[in-house]
Structure 1
Amino acid sequence: MDLSKMMETILNEESNEKKMSEKQKKVVVAAIEMFAEKGYAATSTSEIAKRAGVAEGTIFRHYKTKKDLLLSIVMPTIVNYLAPFFAKNFVNEVFNDKHATFETFLRTLIQNRYEFAKQNFPSLRIFMQEILYQQELREVFVTQFQKLIYPKFTVIINHFQEKGEIVDLPPNTVIRYLVSNVIGLMVHRFIISPSDEWDDETEIEQTIQFIMKGLKRE
């Protein structure tokens, strides 16, 4: 989903009391683009105003500080759209299917998140850059993960441990190991080195095999 369609969906889901003016929408879209390109700290409100084609005072009529603007973008995106919508889609697409092997599940999981990252790069990049510094974002992410994804993850892990496919470690340990490797791949691909020449299929396959070697029961 491209940026304009994503923002249209988010803004249309706002209640009537929270409907944004056209200028406010332009500010939000410009801020997402610039935060994604330059990072939150390196972006000024004057730059956002210039890209949005509005006076800088327009921004401060709606948002007291730049952080308020950030949270008005990222929090609704996560709370109202990305977290519930994509977490539920993630569960339906990955966890609710019957997987013959743990490797099949892992492959589906990584490919699903890889496509998600590619399609939602601007907003995702802002989120990944700021989650370490913004407690509000961490709390929302943890809540959504624990509510929608963690229980399904645990069922999958227990299932394949009972089948003897993966090591008999606590589900929390397996989840941490798996998620840290998958997120590490995404961060390098889309945040640290997005301009490098990437062979996505090879990188995904190598990540799968690396995780399987660590989890496979001998």
Structure 2
Amino acid sequence: MAVTEYENEPIRGLPGYLPEGEHIVWQGVPDWRVFARSALYTRWIGFYFTLLTVLALVSGSLGGALLTAISGVLALGLLNLFAWGVGKTTVYTITNRRLVLRIGVALNKCINLPLATVGSASLRAHAAGHGDIALQLTGKHRLGYAVLWPHVRPLRLRDAEPMLRALPDAENVAAILRRTCSGVVPNARIDTDTAPAANIAPPRKAAA
């Protein structure tokens, strides 16, 4: 697996042309509105500032309430602007050999994850068919939490898990990932359950 910074992409979402025998199986982008709610917690932050504003009004501090409300609007505006930027600059790609995350709002970078390194994956469902897919990698890797953020499973600081965020039709993407991983690991058992947090990648054989 590798992290690559680049300026030009001959194929959308990829830093270079695919080698012979490799082809794109699926490609998609996060829904920025769902990303704002699920990854940046804009609803909770909005509720927090609303509560502070109400408390300031109850205590008789009109100026404090106004300042709090303005701060909340600015904070939510910046978070939604960042989420919009993530939606515009992020491309997730599954090929028959690897998974590629093109991420970075200010500076584009590609993270290449060979499918053979995906030990397991879990689907967390959101409303309207959206969802996140977290990937647990096998072996040693140098993908830090800060490098992956915000495309990373929350609070997994030590062993960072890349995450495909706010995917439309997430169950279908999970099914595609299952089939593709099955092609890399022949005769592996594939869990067909698509419930939230279900294991969707084929298990790895234990070392002899």
TM above 0.5, yes or no, is no
Give TM-score, length-normalised by structure 2.
0.32
Give TM-score, length-normalised by structure 1.
0.31
**Structure with the higher strand share, 1 or 2:** 2
